Chain A
Amino acid sequence: MGHGVKIFNAACKGCVNCIKSCPTEAIRVVDGRVRIIPELCIDCGECLRTCTKKALGMDEDDWDTLRTAGDLQVMSDPTLYAQLGSYRRPGVVRDALSHFGVREVASEVPLAYDVGAYAIARALEEAEPGRKPLISTYCPAIVRLVQVRFPELLPRLVPVESPLEIAGQIWRRDHRDSNLTLVAPCPAKITLVREPVGREKSSFTSVVAVKRVTRDLLASGATAEVPQKPMENIRWLMWALRGGETRHVTQFLDRPVKTMVVSGLRNTLDLLQELELGHLPGVDYVECRVCDLGCIGGIGNAETRFLSEIRLRELPVRWELTEHEFGEVQELYDQGIWKLKVSPRATQSRTLGKNVAESMNRLQKLKKVYDELPHIDCGACGRPTCHALAEDIVRGEGEVTDCIFKLRDRISTLAREIADLSGHVPHTLRNREED
């Protein structure tokens, strides 16, 4: 699977801090190596935040290679425009990038976000009450989290494509065979490109981190003229900040709807759990992001989310669309360009055995193994919990002695046996001693 997280084994010290941070218990440290169970990883980037040894990173394409190859065309996530105070206007960033040979092709993006927001509004109006609340699909890590841990909620995902992909598709119409690089704030959006959910293939051909591009912008010292004309359509930049999507969507609704905005991994997990239990009646739409404060909190950004937030909040946003803009949105909506082609499916859950009977057997075994473990979830065995170790053992992927407490027990038993044995007199000498 083409995941957004990369492992640098040489840097790993085996500290096992990462295994605790993973919301899906996808990480193991076995035989001195970090391993990620691909079907469980949702690319949230939490493990990257925890690893202080830089053994985990974003699996992006090589920015330097892309840049030196020339004729680089990039399209960026809104977060890029919140990284540097002086570049807050997309037009200015475009200028600055062009100074070092990078062509930013953002002109389709604002329209694509309008179309995405409009499509969500329509979906909200059309959904039967029983299907609500609908859940935003903007954060790819959320989509994966639902696939892996909350498959019951799959029908609630709003069937609307990421506006970044919509923009990519619009651009592709005139640029069939060109390369297009996405500038992304997180591993999840790398996966959006490498292994998309909801469509066969991404419109992007490569992907790099916002951090990379920002650093180059800074280092180049490129200054751009700040244009005097009024700000272009920047409604879309607000999607980088929690609540921005919802604000944009409500722009297209005639009647008020009850929306809920949640960001941060812990909050998201709590929310999905509540939804799964059928709570929160009366809510129509849920915007959730696994990163704190929204995408500006993504691990691939250069600037702290706190400053980015201030910058975005200061921008004068015009939410109403001009008649011309609305005409364009309507036209693209009618073409169906916003639709997710394939509905996201549940990730095949990792059952214990090949069928229910075998799984039952292993489950009984698992219980026995688990009962013997100390239940303190210390992580020293390289698994996030004692339960995960028990699971690995019955799957044949671990030993009881991976647990240091069990190992200690074994050693003390062995030590007693050795002490016992040392009392024995070699048989060759036995008679003499008796004499």
Chain B
Amino acid sequence: MNSPYELEFSVAGEDFLAAGEGSNRVKETLKMLGIASDFCRRASIITYEAEMNLVIHARGGTVHVEICPEQLVLTTIDEGPGIEDVELAMQEGYSTAPDHIREMGFGAGMGLSNIKRNADDLAIDSRPGEGTTLRAVVRFAQGKGGIA
């Protein structure tokens, strides 16, 4: 039995240019393992959106990725403002992004719904005023829309 492979990186708040590096690393790592491309795509979308959430809403945070032969677990931890209503935040188009960020074309309220669409499991633990922990899972064998 292999021990899981772990990746960890921190994301700075409002650093739009850096977001995406993590998702690239995740994708490259999965490719080296020979994980089918559909799963690579889903994992990289989830990572990217999670990174973006840290950039836009949470003033930064850390991303932790754990990869096993069976699945990938992504966890983000931040000490941002937290989410008032998780249900609502997951709806497509719902956004609390401030105007100056929306003007740049970000924060259209697709992030969480996009993560949900691509993850096999998603759990969000958020405390307003304290921060948010998000955990998303992609299962490589029987997961959503994947080829076994």
A363 B41 Cβ-Cβ under 8 A? no
Stretch of A137-145, A217-225, A320-328, A353-361 that contacts chain B: A353-361
The residue of chain A having its C-beta at the shortest distance from the C-beta of B108 within the complex is A281
Most interface-central of B2, B20, B48 (chain A CB within 10 A): B2
| B31 engages A277 (CB within 8 Å) | no
Q: Pick the contact of B2 from A277, A278, A364, A391 — CB < 8 Å?
A: A364
Does B91 sit within 8 A of A, measured CB to CB? no
Binding stretch for chain A, among B32-40, B74-82, B130-138: B32-40
Residues of B within 8 A of A278 (CB): 45, 114
A351-B34, A356-B33, A360-B33 known; A152+B5 contact, CB < 8 A: no
* B residues less than 8 Å from A351 (CB atoms): 31-34
A352-B33, A363-B32 known; A152-B40 Cβ under 8 A: yes
**Interface residue SS majority, chain B:** helix
Q: Does A151 contact B (CB under 8 A)?
A: yes
Q: Is A367 an interface residue (CB 8 A)?
A: yes
- B20-58 toward A: CB 8 Å interface, digit per residue (1/0)? 100110000101111101101100110010000000000
Q: Bound state CA distance, A71 and B31, in angstroms? A: 49
A356-B34 contact in complex given A276-B44, A277-B45, A367-B5, C-beta closer than 8 Å: yes
- Contact present for A277 and B23 (CB under 8 Å): yes
Cα A289 to Cα B37 in complex, Å, equals 24
The residues of B that contact A276 with a CB separation of less than 8 Å are 41, 44
B34, B40, B68, B69 interface centre (most CB from chain A within 10 Å) = B34
Q: Which residues of B contact A352 (CB under 8 A)?
A: 32-33
Chain B residues closer than 8 Å to A92, beta-carbon distance: none
Which B residues touch A349, using CB under 8 A?
31-32, 34
When distances are taken between beta carbons in the complex, the residues of chain A under 8 Å from B31 are: 349, 351
Give A153's nearest chain B residue, CB to CB.
B41
- How far apart are the CA atoms of A382 and B114 in the complex, in Å? 40
Known A346-B37, A351-B33, A356-B69; contact A364-B114, beta-carbon cutoff 8 A: no
In Å, the complex CA distance between A329 and B88 comes to 53
Instruction: Given A349-B31, A349-B34, A352-B32, decide whether A360 and B69 contact each other with a Cβ distance below 8 A.
Output: yes
Inter-chain contacts of A364 with B (CB < 8 A): 2-3, 5
Shortest CB distance B1–A (Å): 9
Which residues does chain A contribute within 8 Å of B3, judged by CB atoms?
Answer: 364
Q: With A and B bound together, what is the CA distance between A355 and B40 in angstroms?
A: 16
Bound-state CA distance A353–B5 (Å) is 15
Q: Knowing A277-B48, A364-B3, say if A359 contacts B37 (CB, 8 Å).
A: no
Residues of B with C-beta under 8 A to A367 = 5
Partner of A152, one of B24, B34, B38, B69: B38
- Within A331-381, which residues are at the interface with B (CB < 8 Å)? 346, 349-353, 355-357, 359-361, 363-364, 367
Nearest opposing residue in chain B for A360, CB measure: B2
- The complex places the Cα of A346 from the Cα of B31 at a distance, in Å, of 12
Q: Hey, which bits of chain A sit against chain B, CB under 8 A? A: 151-152, 273, 276-278, 346, 349-353, 355-357, 359-361, 363-364, 367, 391
A-B contact pairs, 14 of them (CB 8 A): A152-B38, A276-B41, A277-B45, A346-B37, A350-B32, A351-B32, A353-B34, A356-B35, A356-B69, A360-B33, A361-B2, A363-B29, A363-B32, A363-B33
